[in-house]
Amino acid sequence: MQCFFACGLCLAASFAIVFPDWRQLYFITALPTGLFIISWWWIPESPKWLANQLRSGKLKGGEKLQHSRAETADQHRALLHVAEEARDVVGDGGSEDEKGHRNLTDKGDKEFTYSMLLKDSDTSQLLMTVCVVWLIGGFVYYGITLSAGSISKEIHLNMFLMGLVEIPAYILSRYLADTAGRKSSYISMTLLAAFFCLVSWSYPRKGGRLLFALVGKIFASGAFSLVWMWSPEIFPTGARSLTTAIGSQAARVGSILAPYVVVLMSEMESTVDGSGVSHPPLPQPIFAAVGCISAFVACFLPETVGIEMI
């Protein structure tokens, strides 16, 4: 699914060539969102909402379970059975990551609220750690993407390539997450993204600078996609949607800060090399340093691969 997001970036860069005026570009890119209205009749309700409706004896549209169609009733009865049986999945023993994950799931599948998350010390500390990873992930991802124009003058081509390299990044991250684990994959890809940011910043030629920036974007995109996969698995079902929403809000803070860093760095005093060519300072070292902080913070999060979700 994330590959479609990368295709959207490529299309946005292509449309920017045809519609250079930002007002026209804004209008053209906003038109496809009207298709979501059409999808209203085809996208099903979430299993969580349906399970709550089933427990209260209601179905979509206020229908009673006994008055619904046979196939619909069977589906929703099976859904309720899965939701109730999920409480008894957790066993005893296991690794430290399993025990840490089990401490959360032992709280049951009750619905969590903001106040409940803050009152519980274990969950609140874990949530703050996850929010730091979310914030830095959004900061580095959007920072590298938006700094495409500072690497060379071909801003549309750079942005198109920044979106294109995300497709193999998402495929690679999914493969590594299932084989090497979420935690080690995220830390490795974040550190590699930081490394190639520094290489891109220090490389003297713009062609090679763009190449290394694209490689760094591959690992930054893969690491950010792992956050979407990893962080919901850390929390129990009752808190999963709420904690993911809070983490996504933290990522939006990082994405807001990223363009300011790019713009402020571009307006700083340029340096002149030995050939007399002026070079504005690049923000890549900032993204690399912050990425290393994220990799360090992620060491305190539990591994979730191979652990039964509750």
pLDDT of residue 56: 63
**pLDDT value at position 252?**
94
Q: How far apart are CA 226 and CA 176, in angstroms?
A: 10
- The residue among 20 and 268 whose pLDDT is bigger is 20
The whole-number average pLDDT for the span 188-197 is: 94
Tokens describing residue 149: 């124009």
Note whether 133 and 127 are within 8 A (CB).
no
Q: What phi and psi values does residue 165 have, to the nearest 5 degrees?
A: -75, -10
Q: Are 189 and 222 in contact (CB under 8 A)?
A: yes
The pLDDT tens digits for 202-260 are: 877 777 788 888 899 999 999 999 999 898 888 887 788 888 899 999 999 999 999 99
Q: For residue 113, what are the CA distances in angstroms to 124, 133, 233, 245?
A: 12, 21, 18, 12
pLDDT value for 90: 38
Specify the pLDDT at position 58: 59
For residue 299, the Cα-to-chain-centroid distance in whole angstroms is 18
Tell me what the pLDDT averaged over the chain comes to: 77
pLDDT of residue 117: 76
Query: At residue 182, does pLDDT exceed 70?
Result: yes
Helix (H) or strand (E) holding 237: helix 237-266
* Tens digits of residue pLDDT in 273-310: 555 555 556 788 899 999 999 999 999 999 888 777 66
**What is the rounded average pLDDT of the residues 80-109?**
48
Average pLDDT for 34-56: 69
Give me the pLDDT at residue 248, please: 93
Question: Regarding predicted confidence, which is higher, 267 or 53?
Answer: 267
Average pLDDT over residues 157-179: 89
Nearest residue to 83 (alpha-carbon basis) of 58, 122, 46, 127? 46
72: pLDDT strictly greater than 80: no
Phi, psi of 292 (to 5 degrees): -65, -35
pLDDT at 31: 84
Q: For residue 246, which of 149, 141, 119, 113 has the smallest C-alpha distance?
A: 113
Q: Which residues contact 272 (CB under 8 A, 6 or more apart)?
A: 278, 279
CA distance 310 to 240: 10
pLDDT (0 to 100) of residue 272: 56
Q: What is the mean pLDDT of residues 197-204?
A: 84
Poorest-pLDDT segment among 73-77, 89-93, 141-145, 250-254: 89-93
For 57, which DSSP code? T
Residue 83 burial (CB count, 10 A): 18
Angle at 139 between CA 160 and CA 229, to 5 degrees: 85
> What's the predicted TM-score (pTM) here?
0.75
pLDDT score at 37: 78
Amino acid identity for residue 261 in this structure: V
Provide the strand spans (E) within the chain: 271-272, 278-279
Q: pLDDT-based confidence at 89, cuts 50/70/90?
A: very low
The per-residue pLDDT for 185 is 94
What value does the mean pLDDT take over residues 162-168? Answer: 89
Say whether pLDDT at 88 is over 80: no
pLDDT on residue 60: 45
Classify 61 in phi/psi space as left (phi over 0), alpha (psi -120 to 50) or beta.
Answer: left
Is residue 173 within 8 A of residue 2, CB to CB? The reply is no
- What does the pLDDT read at residue 274? 57
- Kindly state the tokens that stand for 159: 């942005």
Among candidate residues 285, 284, 305, the one with its CA nearest the CA of residue 173? 305
Instruction: Examine the pLDDT at 113 and tell me if it is beyond 90.
Output: no
pLDDT at 87: 43
